[in-house]
Structure 1
Amino acid sequence: MADVLTKEQRRRNMQAIRATHTSIEDKMSTDLWRRGYRFRKNVSSMFGKPDIAIKKYKIVIFIDSCFWHGCKEHGNIPKTNESFWLQKLARNSERDQEVTEYYQAGRWGIMRIWEHEIKQDYHVTLEKVIKFIEYAKKIHAYKTNKARSNFNPPG
């Protein structure tokens, strides 16, 4: 099927798609901030530019859109220039895997959330993120207390 938009219309449409500060990302981060969680958004100095990062607890959270990250349930391949899109979306998935493996190798907690999870049941997804953060805080506290108890000052 031919594209219903002209090349110029399609170009403007694609340029308007934002990589950061999407409505679902902003909603999630606003609610986490209101609940007292402090974090950095879209940290460009970190590998993969996580949507939410809490370095203190070594956690990163990625909110993956169904289209750009190749969701098996809701992602779709445009019919025009299909070979380009197949290659593009496959590379995005490979990059996501590389980022996940990078953080796992560094013993970071990593959470990936699909766009459709947020849209289908926002409150359940928000609670899932909060539980993830709280678990990381407990691990951090345990490691900190264990390190202090093993510390013997000289003298």
Structure 2
Amino acid sequence: MSKVPREPIDTEWSPPDGSWASSAANRRSMLGNRNRDTSPERALRSLIHAAGLRYRVAAKPLPEMRRTADLVFRPSRVAVFVDGCFWHGCPKHFVPPKTNPDYWREKIGRNVQRDRDTDERLKAAGWLVLRFWEHDPAEASSAVVCGAVNSRRRTAEVRAEPED
């Protein structure tokens, strides 16, 4: 197996104007991060799909909201988010970067604030919001999601039955 040679890192590299990157390698690494279809998301989706539930992936729960949930169950109004420990400030695993700490503290703080705002807006519209950390076991998370979706479906069916 042959190794692909890497491009040499430019020691005289300077970030583009307004860039958060402290080096070319840092920029390359951060641009490679996924915002959907992560391993924890795929594992959760696989278990939920195997349980017979169907959902939308990376969809807007509310059309007027410019935010997407990782899984959306529209009929039962359940929005599922799988939050990354770094990007959403996990209390167990988040380690602030040593490089450019002020930027990252503000960035992660804005992410957390946006998450809370999203939760409030969805709840006000009658949605159930389920949030899991990327390190949560997929089996436990899928059990919670399946239970919540099935429960809300049963409740909706009971309400839809006509009275005699």
TM-score by length of 1: 0.84
| Structure 1: gaps spanning 5 or more residues | 1-5, 151-155
Alignment partners' CA distance in 2, 1:27 and 1:93: 24
Deviation of 1:70 after TM superposition, in Å, equals 0.8
The SS at the match of 1:149 is: coil
The residue type equivalent to 2:140 in the other structure is V
Asked if the contact 1:42/1:52 (under 8 Å) is kept, the reply is yes
Alpha-carbon distance between aligned partners in 1 of 2:61 and 2:72, rounded to the nearest angstrom: 11
Aligned mates of 2:30, 2:140 — CA distance in 1? 31
Post-superposition Cα deviations, 1:4-48, rounded to whole Å, max 9, x if no partner, equal: xx7111101000000000011011112211221010000147432
Cα distance between partner residues in 1 of 2:129 and 2:163: 28
Question: What secondary structure, in the 3-state scheme, does the structure 2 residue paired with 1:63 have?
Answer: strand
Partner of 1:39: 55
Give the share of equivalent positions with the same residue, in percent.
Answer: 27
1:79-118 equivalence runs, <5 A: 79-118=98-137
Contact residue 44 and residue 141 of structure 2 kept, 8 A? no
Runs of at least 5 residues in structure 2 that lack an aligned partner in the other structure? 1-21
1:54-93 per-residue CA deviation (whole Å, 9 max, x = no partner) reads 1111111111111111111111211100000000000000
Q: Report the structure, 1 or 2, having the larger helix content.
A: 1
- Equivalent pairs counted in the alignment come to 141
TM-score of the two chains, using structure 2 as the length reference: 0.79
In 1, are the aligned partners of 2:54 and 2:73 still within 8 Å (CA)?
Answer: yes
Look up the match of 2:24: 8
Aligned-partner SS, 1:51: strand
For 2:46, the equivalent position in structure 1 comes to 30
